[in-house]
Chains A and B, each alone.
Chain A
Amino acid sequence: MISAPYLEVAVLVLGTVILLIESFFSKFDRRYLGYAALVGLALIFLATFFIAPQSTMSSAPFWNFYSADATSLFFKRIALATTAGVIVMMFDFAALVSSGVQGATPQSGLGEFFALPLFTCAGLMWMASAIDFVLIFVSLELVTISFYVLVGFTRRNPASLEAAVKYLVLSAVATGFLVYGITWIFGATGETNLQKIATVLSGTGLEQNAALFGGVLVIIALGFKIAAVPFHIWVADVYQGAPTPVTAYLSVGSKAAGFIVLLRVLDPFLILPQMQTLLVAIAVLTLIYGNLAALPQTNVKRLLAYSSIAHAGYLLVAVVSFSGRAVAFYLVAYLLMTLLSFAVLILVSQPAGDQLESFAGLSQRSPFLAFAMLVAMASLAGVPFTAGFLGKFLVFDAAIATHHFGLVVVAIVTVGAGFYYYFKVVRAIYWDAPPASTDKIIVSPLTRVALIALIAGTFVLGVYPQPIFDALAR
């Protein structure tokens, strides 16, 4: 049995070891570092199944900050799996990392490119366990700061730089909101621990408005992380400009972590009815904006960015209904289909770019990739027997159970819009004629395995979601 905090420590050690190997040895294939990261992450993922239950652990002050319950373990696994998926994508992206940098070899910068996601991963894992605002803040910073670097990693690409600057500035503003909100909450309740805040808030004779104000500020900051409208302005440009694996990571990892923090933070605050109203409003806006803005997109990366906003809307519906189970399942489904679509996007876009035209006739160039993209799009749209459908079903079910009928109506209408733009991609793949001079796309064995696993996952969870529920209910 392993004590839970060692998981993050292991990830960090893995990251630093890779970084040091990168800096001390110069003459070896940097891709081995990526393989090492993958193996390490797999081992740590396995280790999450042998975690000692929290009750047997000591009552040191550390556990006021850190929780090792089933939910946090579940989200740790999501973080680990996402990171592994992102690193697999990075192998395909490796050629582009240092293109355009003067005097760069094909290998330069790769070591850091593989190491940084590990630090992000450690941050995400801490975030999953954080039950105190201090740890939430620190882990959020670890995640965001590594993302600053990752987003601007292809530093000779102006789009990437623009994305990095935008992300840096807006993220710093969001962090400011978070810290300011935390101080207000601390001022009103005298606590940073979420459980204690809940106790204080449910008591009487409290300056509720101050706490509520702080809570709203925190929600604004988290709204930025999960890309909810109206805090979504950065999303399209940053997603489009960042290196594609990083975009995938941003849309899955950052979102998952944002949602678990949101769940934990809202736990004490949902007692206050105003909070509920605010969240419903944000959810409706996010649903409508994300789906409508995705309609006219012709750049697939941008389309996925807006679809990521839309999915944040569905997740917010689950949050408002306060169904942790629906959030968790939806996030897993979202992870599978998003990683799948971005992995295909990297392979397809490398010669031709991110535009929708480069997908034209993909079914003839690589039937396997075409099928993978079809599955991803179907799942994102919510076609039955895919994980995406079941995720949406659980969300709507939870919303109806808590009598949010208006929200469900909006959500179902926007799903219709979703079908339209996701099938634009499918139409390009299967109906449009390929450009004249194209050749087959080669898929490396590692990527092929990963893609098959993701496709299989999408279908299996679409009909048999029980493993997820079991993991949550431990």
Chain B
Amino acid sequence: MLRDYLPVLLQIIVAVGFAASALIVSVLLGKAGRRTPIKDSPYECGMVPIGEAQPRFSVRFYLIAMLFILFDLEIVFMYPWAVVYRDMIHGHPVVFWSMLSFVSMLMIGYVYALRKGVLDWRN
């Protein structure tokens, strides 16, 4: 079991190593220029930056994030179900109906959220 994951670990080490070494090489080889106040300022198309750097943004992004957590969990629930489905379905239609009822319950919440304008970006 663990042996299966050893290559994954190696792969991660290689990937991280590559990223780190690329950055280090670039620091070593890259030409260092002068720091000027203009160069240090945030890029705003050549204008002098105004206002907060991290402005307030639409609350809908939060709603999307919350909905995502709900439905992503739903999907995770469906994976084990999908894997055992063909082994269990014959003679046990409850396997089908239980998942259908679970999803339709979530769908009520989904429909409610849609009707309440979660995805309505106009106002």
Contact = CB atoms under 8 A, between A and B. Distances in A.
Interface of A: 16, 19-20, 23-24
Contacts of A20: 108, 111-112, 115
A19 B113 CA distance: 10
Given A19-B108, A19-B112, A23-B115, 9 more contacts: A16-B108, A20-B108, A20-B111, A20-B112, A20-B115, A23-B111, A23-B112, A23-B116, A24-B115
Q: Is the interface of A mostly helix, strand, loop or mixed?
A: helix
Interface in B80-123: 108, 111-112, 115-116
A14 to B, nearest CB: 13
Contacts, number: 12
A24 B112 CA distance: 8
A13 B74 CA distance: 20
A97 B115 CA distance: 21
Contacts of B108: 16, 19-20
A122 to B, nearest CB: 12
Contacts of B111: 20, 23
Interface string B52-79: 0000000000000000000000000000
A102 to B, nearest CB: 12
A127 to B, nearest CB: 19
Contacts of A24: 115
Contacts of A23: 111-112, 115-116
A392 B112 CA distance: 46
Contacts of A19: 108, 112
Interface in B9-46: none
A19 B115 CA distance: 11
Nearest to B116: A23
A16 B115 CA distance: 14
Nearest to B113: A23
Nearest to A15: B108
Nearest to B114: A23
A16 B101 CA distance: 14
Contacts of B116: 23
Contacts of B112: 19-20, 23
